């Protein structure tokens, strides 16, 4: 990679550069989304939170971030930057331009103190490891055959009234369910600011991707309150003369408790004129224990959310630990030099502190490993067995790993 990144200034865009910004974004992703989607993203990503690179007057790189509150182990949240819209013009690759934009973002978050953690969904994971991002959540991609008898009922799951509702009009009622459950699973985020209702219910030819209109079903309890919901589309298929082979494409499913969650899933897996349901769920989702034949769901593990600690002390002190932790780790972080050094982490289920120290190190690891272990889905011990964490004090790795693990598998339910 060339070292002449200084030749390509990096800064937020001005109002007059908005059209060039989105033209480069769409060109790089080989897409032509409708103008309404551009207007929508302008509401979510303010110009102040964009980043662009220039070759003279030519805009050659794009990026931005969305402020979130990320749920971390312990049912608490930390301020997080959701990185999005990252591109570099094909004619300007391997010139250090992406590195310049990444550094601009990291330094900005650190200096402003507005994000202890950064997250992103990676179209090409190999790119972001060199900037300290590690895969922090996984999902099970499922193909579930139709048939309500294939998914066991649970106590109370047959006591809800299922209703079809307008996705936009019912957004607030459904969002109340989302807000009630998001603190229970690491990786979920609070949708902050205006525009998220429009994102969640966006429905046009571009978002349909050959499927039908966006639908929303809710499970109402005896008091008429929404206890669970799903947003989905059906991809109709009548080519098979023996039977319709439609596919249910699930966007989002949540329930306040197991009964409401399963009530919605039993609806989704028994829709007329369909053959199967396609969805992504957490790796520990109850569905896997309630399907009569789990093998028929064809589960496939996928990497989802990538995590990077911007300020190691704030990020590690912001989460809780499943077992007491008292460990000194040595971190080399050339991309974020303020993180480089030795840190003592002491914490438990009630809170934690992370401070610089000169004490001897117990563990040696890098920012990518911390990002991978941060949400508790992948253990430090597993990283150690892979040679990614070095243990200097016997027993320190196992003890730290027990503290970092999350009882609930992390999951990121929607992309940004």
| Domain end (from 302, 334, 354) | 302
Q: Are residues 280 and 192 in the same domain?
A: yes
Average pLDDT over residues 310-338: 98
128 is catalytic: yes
Look up the CATH number of the domain holding residue 276.
3.40.630.30
8 Å CB contact between 322 and 349: yes
| Domain end (from 302, 333, 351) | 302
Q: Are residues 192 and 61 in the same domain?
A: no
Residue 61: give the domain boundaries. Answer: 5-115
Bridge partners of 69? 79, 190
Look up the CATH number of the domain holding residue 361.
3.30.1050.10
Average pLDDT over residues 326-343: 98
Average pLDDT over residues 156-162: 97
Number of domains in the chain: 3
Q: Are residues 325 and 291 in the same domain?
A: no
Instruction: Detail the residues annotated as belonging to a binding site.
Output: 86-88, 94-99, 123-124
166 is a domain residue: yes
Confidence check: pLDDT of 192 > 80: no
Bridge partners of 220? 161, 226
124 is a domain residue: no
Q: Are residues 170 and 281 in the same domain?
A: yes
Take residue 51 and report the two structure tokens written for it: 């980043």
Beta-strand relationship, 58-72 and 189-190: antiparallel
pLDDT value of position 5: 57
pLDDT value of position 187: 98
- Residue 94, SS3 per DSSP: coil
Among the listed residues 21, 128, 232, 267, the single catalytic one is: 128
Q: Are residues 261 and 331 in the same domain?
A: no
229 is a domain residue: yes
pLDDT value of position 193: 66
Q: How confident is the model at residue 148 (pLDDT cuts 50, 70, 90)?
A: low
DSSP label at residue 323: S
Q: Are residues 231 and 344 in the same domain?
A: no
Average pLDDT over residues 222-227: 97
Cα–Cα nearest to 316, from 333, 339, 336, 283: 339
Confidence check: pLDDT of 44 > 70: yes
Q: Are residues 298 and 172 in the same domain?
A: yes
* Cα 321 from Cα 327, distance rounded (Å): 12
344 is a domain residue: yes
Tens-digit pLDDT profile for residues 63-118: 999 999 999 999 999 999 999 999 999 999 999 999 999 999 999 999 999 999 99
Q: Are residues 153 and 285 in the same domain?
A: yes
411 is a domain residue: no
Indicate the average pLDDT of the chain.
94
221 is a domain residue: yes
Q: How confident is the model at residue 273 (pLDDT cuts 50, 70, 90)?
A: very high
pLDDT value of position 2: 40
404 is catalytic: no
* Cα 382 from Cα 226, distance rounded (Å): 40
Q: Are residues 229 and 341 in the same domain?
A: no
Bridge partners of 82? 66, 119
Instruction: Detail the residues annotated as belonging to a binding site for acetyl-CoA.
Output: 86-88, 94-99, 123-124
The percent of the chain in helix, strand and coil, each rounded to the nearest 5, is 30, 30, 35
Confidence check: pLDDT of 122 > 50: yes
Tens-digit pLDDT profile for residues 277-308: 999 999 999 999 999 888 888 899 999 999 99
129 is a domain residue: no
Q: Are residues 288 and 390 in the same domain?
A: no
122 is a domain residue: no
| Domain end (from 248, 272, 302) | 302
8 Å CB contact between 315 and 343: no
- Residue 125, SS3 per DSSP: helix
Phi, psi for 236 (deg, rounded to 5): -70, 145
Q: Are residues 155 and 269 in the same domain?
A: yes
Cα–Cα nearest to 59, from 87, 105, 98, 20: 20
Cα–Cα nearest to 381, from 362, 394, 353, 400: 400
* Cα 117 from Cα 370, distance rounded (Å): 11
Report the run of H or E that residue 50 belongs to, with start and end: strand 50-55
8 Å CB contact between 159 and 222: yes
Q: Are residues 268 and 153 in the same domain?
A: yes
8 Å CB contact between 33 and 26: yes
Confidence check: pLDDT of 1 > 50: no
Q: How many CB atoms lie within 10 A of CB 237?
A: 14
Confidence check: pLDDT of 391 > 70: yes
Q: How confident is the model at residue 4 (pLDDT cuts 50, 70, 90)?
A: low
- Max mean pLDDT range (3-7, 194-198, 205-209, 381-385): 381-385
Take residue 63 and report the two structure tokens written for it: 């990026």
pTM of the complete model: 0.94
Q: How confident is the model at residue 124 (pLDDT cuts 50, 70, 90)?
A: confident
How large a percentage of the chain has pLDDT more than 70? Answer: 98
Beta-strand relationship, 351-356 and 325-331: unpaired
């Amino acid at each position: 990679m060339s070292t002449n990144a200084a030749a390509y200034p990096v800064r937020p865009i001005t109002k007059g550069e908005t059209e060039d910004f989105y033209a480069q974004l769409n060109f790089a992703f080989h897409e032509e989304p409708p103008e309404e989607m551009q207007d929508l993203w302008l509401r979510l990503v303010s110009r102040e939170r964009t980043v662009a690179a220039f070759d003279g007057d030519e805009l050659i790189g794009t990026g931005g971030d969305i402020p979130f509150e990320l749920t971390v182990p312990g049912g608490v949240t930390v301020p997080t930057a959701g990185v999005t819209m990252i591109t570099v013009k094909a004619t300007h690759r391997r010139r250090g331009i992406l590195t310049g934009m990444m550094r601009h973002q990291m330094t900005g978050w650190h200096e402003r103190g507005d994000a202890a953690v950064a997250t992103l969904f990676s179209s090409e994971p190999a790119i972001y490891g060199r900037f300290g991002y590690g895969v922090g959540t996984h999902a099970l991609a499922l193909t579930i055959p139709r048939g309500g008898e294939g998914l066991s009922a649970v106590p109370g799951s047959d006591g809800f009234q299922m209703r079809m509702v307008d996705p936009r009009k019912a957004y607030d009622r459904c969002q109340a369910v989302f807000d009630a459950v998001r603190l229970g699973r690491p990786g979920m985020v609070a949708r902050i600011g205006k525009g998220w209702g429009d994102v969640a219910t966006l429905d046009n030819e571009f978002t349909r991707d050959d499927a039908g209109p966006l639908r929303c079903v809710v499970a109402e309890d005896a008091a008429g309150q929404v206890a669970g919901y799903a947003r989905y589309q059906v991809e109709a298929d009548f080519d098979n003369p023996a039977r319709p082979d439609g596919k249910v494409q699930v966007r989002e499913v949540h329930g306040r408790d197991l009964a409401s969650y399963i009530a919605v899933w039993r609806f989704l897996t028994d829709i007329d004129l369909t053959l199967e349901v396609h969805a992504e769920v957490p790796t520990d989702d109850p569905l896997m224990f309630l399907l009569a034949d789990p093998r028929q769901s064809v589960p496939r593990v996928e990497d989802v959310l990538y995590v990077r600690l911007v300020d190691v002390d704030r990020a590690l002190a912001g989460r809780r630990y499943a077992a007491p932790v008292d460990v000194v780790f040595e971190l080399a972080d050339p991309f974020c030099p303020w993180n480089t050094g030795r840190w003592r982490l002491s914490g438990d289920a009630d809170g934690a502190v992370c401070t610089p120290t000169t004490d001897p190190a117990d563990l040696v690891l890098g920012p990518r490993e911390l990002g991978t272990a941060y949400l508790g889905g992948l253990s430090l011990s597993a990283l150690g067995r892979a040679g990614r964490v070095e243990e200097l004090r016997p027993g320190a790795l196992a003890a730290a790993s027990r503290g970092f693990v999350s009882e609930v598998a992390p999951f990121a339910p929607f992309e940004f």
